[in-house]
Amino acid sequence: MTRVRWLQAMAVIGATALLMASSCSWRLGSPIPDGVPPPPGDAVPQIDIYASGRPADQLHEWAAERAPALRIPVTALEAYGYAARVADVVNPDCHLAWTTLAGIGQVESHHGTYRGSTIAVNGDISPPIRGVLLDGTDGNLEILDEDSVSHDPAVENKGDEPYARAMGPMQFIPETWSLYGVDANNDGVVSADNIDDAALSAAGYLCWRGKDLSTPRGWMAALRAYNHSDQYARNVRDWATAYAGGHTL
């Protein structure tokens, strides 16, 4: 999906969010933890979200000032800030904070640096990050990936193919990525292995599933859709709260 199409979809989501929220019969499976939603952190400067090139570059000064204390790569922090700014402009009722995206990025992949991966200036992650094989063993879900979209390039034996792996710094499964993936850095490629694309795609998914992330119920709905684990949500909450305070855990 192109960035323009994603923005158009987000506008529709924003217009229907209240209707969907009121008609939804979703229920939490357990009590809402304390401290959710986490604080939004420092405000992201206003930028031109439709800028050519890599729009997240506009946030370099903002990110570079905060990245050392947060121990987040500057490029990743730019991506989180840009995704939150886009969500704020296109779907202001969502109230998605960059701290939540950063919390997810930390829990999922240490902001794209898991096992020595690095982030290029355009946001590409190398080598690509892949999760465990989702073949139904060891307590994992069984999720098929018959097109091998999520195949781990580091695994020479492709015998694990038709099963999926979570992909990239935000750990999307192939089916979810096919629905929400977007080109956020204008390079013409929609890649789960690019921090810009992954962060903006995560923003769209979280806003769709949570509707209003400024409420405890909305935030938990979004996080439980992303990963159906209360402990996962608490981990993201803790990291997001720390980032909002200008430090790490």
Residue 41 lies in a domain: yes
In a domain, 111, yes or no: yes
Q: What is the DSSP string of the chain?
A: --HHHHHHHHHHHHHHHHHHHHH-----SSPPPTT-SPP--SPPPP--TT-SS-GGGGGHHHHHHHHHHHT--HHHHHHHHHHHHHHHHH-TTT---HHHHHHHHHHHHTTTTGGG-EE-TTSBEESPPB---BBS-TT--B-B-TT-TT--TT---GGGTTBB--BTTTTB-HHHHHHH----SSSS---TTBHHHHHHHHHHHHHHHHS-TTSHHHHHHHHHHHSS-HHHHHHHHHHHHHHHTTS--
Domain of 43, in residue numbers:
3-119+173-244
Q: Is residue 156 part of a domain?
A: no
Q: What is the pTM of this model?
A: 0.88
pLDDT higher for 23 or 150? 150
Taking 70 as the threshold, does the pLDDT of residue 17 lie above it? no
pLDDT of residue 209: 96
- Asked if residues 90 and 7 have their Cβ atoms less than 8 Å apart, the reply is yes
Query: Does 136 reside within a domain?
Result: no
Split at pLDDT 50, 70, 90, the class of 5 is low
Structural domain contains residue 16:
yes
Tens of pLDDT along 187-197? 999 999 999 99
Residue 224, domain member (yes or no): yes
| Comparison of pLDDT for 163 and 84, the residue scoring more | 84
Confidence of residue 185 (pLDDT cuts 50, 70, 90): very high
Q: Is residue 143 one of the residues assigned to a domain? A: no
Per-residue pLDDT, 58: 99
Percent of the chain with pLDDT over 90: 73
**Tens-place pLDDT, residues 87-105:** 999 999 999 999 999 999 9
Whether 164 maps to a domain, the answer reads no
Structurally, how many domains does the chain consist of?
1
